[in-house]
Structure 1
């Protein structure tokens, strides 16, 4: 009797495991659930939840543009136009740097802080994760304000800073033969502000570059240089001047490679797209190089902003939440409401109206009947 019961139980268990669930084979459904879009949506919601949990709601979405005189140490000595686009919340293009930020944060908190605690500090010295800085710099025209927070600082028992560090991660540090100027400027901002705040002189810091590939580090000692700091102050005053005049700064990168990694290359005019010196507002028609999370954040923050037809096709779920802008002929400016467009243009295209297409040799796929239904 007992043997029959066990046999029946085994058969039932086997039947349960081999039954194909509704909706198709289980392995197919599981595999279909794993996609880049699903992962990005999950990670975005996870970050939102964590920010709420930590009481950091200001990290969810875009922050209002700061006042012209306010500056952040991490933005110093970079292309004036790029910084202006960032500060005015122009829509970001291309790949998101979230992976870089995450790996940098983990390297700093999980590797460098324990190393400093275990192998660097001596009796009576400690490691503080970061120090908040805020200072004002008076010039002939402006009262420039610097606000931000440092990377790990070695401090006394009372919290007075002894040595400031700035930790950066790169894919390779093989050719890192000195500190980058913008990182040097960032560290100078911390040294200046802490020296102003504390009775103790704070004139020295370390720039630590860590390789994400090999976990090797390169360390450069940086001493406060008054002449170099004047250069940084001049940069801040110039940036403030552009903001004060509501003027788009010139496209003059501080380094040769800045344009190659810029999140505003289309808007600035550094690509083959028909755009040049664009302002801060609006998603660019025909450009599909926007990530879903950045598009959502921009549309939620910007008044009267609308999804472009190109992005409607790329992210159809957003079209159910936000308005969609008219299709506009790039040649004559003729407009057609998106809901009246019968033939959907391919992503990334700038379709002409039928009248303009008669004068220009273009593929049929780039022609939209703007004036007739």
Structure 2
């Protein structure tokens, strides 16, 4: 009987192992390694590490007209409070490469017109803040047989397109930057673009023809870039003044900025917020970007393996200011119930411990 039972247990083990192999955690690890390897094989190993801080005078078309503070946080590798929506990015790439490009090639019926995947623009403009640079890569462009641009496209995806009545101003600004850049690069006027929105739910599309508007370019797009450059040159944390309320709703820096549930306001880009959880990759990226940043006790509890790689702040009492090594305090990790200060508890006045921090106020690069 014992041999039969043993045989039955052994026959079930492979199935159990297979279930473990296809877990969500294993998929996340596999995907991260896959992207890491792909970046190296594609000749882009720098994508695997933190981005370098761009010059105050350099701008990406995709960032134009967005919240100045959000862009400053992003440029200085501030720690994002939630993971990137990689699924949305992935769908956007597949939608453009596998559907829109194929559609454009079918739509172009002239034998002397072609569809190129993308074109680079890199040009400078003189503003009141001095010379600024705009550099970026377009979406598909319809070109002639000599490779000269005829019509720019800007491809975006949304959950649904039923209520889209006009192009977003951010997207108009992006298209204007590309039209201006292509005009200078090819010494010909590129004045037309199509902004095409695709639904991630139904694959329905809506397209909008826009023409280059010199007034919009000078007084809206360049004015934004000029203002942002001035904030950067002055090393000043820009104000949080998004054009649309939804920017705050979907922002990855809500708590840091003061728009979230945490009691912070206008925190600089360096440092991890105490008693705050971050995605593991974001914590690592931030710590690798800033040599003076440390892991918080909260994150050393959440990701204990990182405590051996990075320095960790002490716990600090909000009441008596006493400090304790991060690994000397017992805590369940429940953010709604932070650990208590042993000294204050001995005195009969319980007080909460928080992580020491190098959070910077005001100056963007401190």
Structures share fold, TM-score greater than 0.5? yes
| 1:209 maps to 2:197 | yes
| 1:276 maps to 2:261 | no
User: Which structure exhibits the higher relative contact order, with contacts defined as CA atoms closer than 8 Å and separated by 6 or more residues?
Assistant: 2
| Counterpart contact for 1:205–1:222, Cα < 8 Å | yes
Over residues 4-55 of structure 1, what are the superposed CA-to-partner deviations in whole Å (9 max), with x where a residue is unaligned? xxxxxxxxxxx9xx76449x73332322333333222221111110000010
| Counterpart contact for 1:170–1:210, Cα < 8 Å | yes
- C-alpha deviation, 1:96, in angstroms: 1.9
Residue equivalent to 1:235: 224
Measure, in 2, the Cα distance between the counterparts of 1:31 and 1:337: 40
Residue aligned with 2:245, SS? coil
**Ranges in structure 2 where 5+ consecutive residues have no aligned partner:** 357-366
Residue equivalent to 1:63: 51
126-135 or 39-48, which deviates more: 39-48
Residue aligned with 2:274, SS? coil
| 1:45 maps to 2:30 | no
CA 1:253–1:342 in structure 2 vs 1: closer, same or farther (change >3 Å)?
same
Measure, in 2, the Cα distance between the counterparts of 1:31 and 1:101: 28
Residue aligned with 2:190, SS? coil
Residue equivalent to 1:256: 245
- C-alpha deviation, 1:344, in angstroms: 4.8
Counterpart selection for 2:102 from 107, 114, 121? 114
Equivalent runs, 1:1-373 vs 2, <5 Å: 20-21=9-10, 25-230=13-218, 231-288=220-277, 290-347=278-335, 349-354=337-342
Residue equivalent to 2:364: none
- C-alpha deviation, 1:174, in angstroms: 1.1
216-225 or 36-45, which deviates more: 36-45
- C-alpha deviation, 1:121, in angstroms: 4.3
- Greater CA radius of gyration, 1 or 2? 1
| Counterpart contact for 2:120–2:136, Cα < 8 Å | yes
| Counterpart contact for 2:302–2:333, Cα < 8 Å | no
CA 1:160–1:149 in structure 2 vs 1: closer, same or farther (change >3 Å)?
same
Q: Root-mean-square deviation (CA), in Å?
A: 2.3
Residue aligned with 1:328, SS? strand
| Counterpart contact for 1:259–1:270, Cα < 8 Å | yes
| Counterpart contact for 1:310–1:346, Cα < 8 Å | no
**Ranges in structure 1 where 5+ consecutive residues have no aligned partner:** 1-14
Residue aligned with 1:89, SS? coil
- C-alpha deviation, 1:187, in angstroms: 0.3
Residue aligned with 1:340, SS? coil
Residue equivalent to 1:12: none
Number of aligned residue pairs: give it: 348
Measure, in 2, the Cα distance between the counterparts of 1:116 and 1:284: 47
- C-alpha deviation, 1:170, in angstroms: 0.7
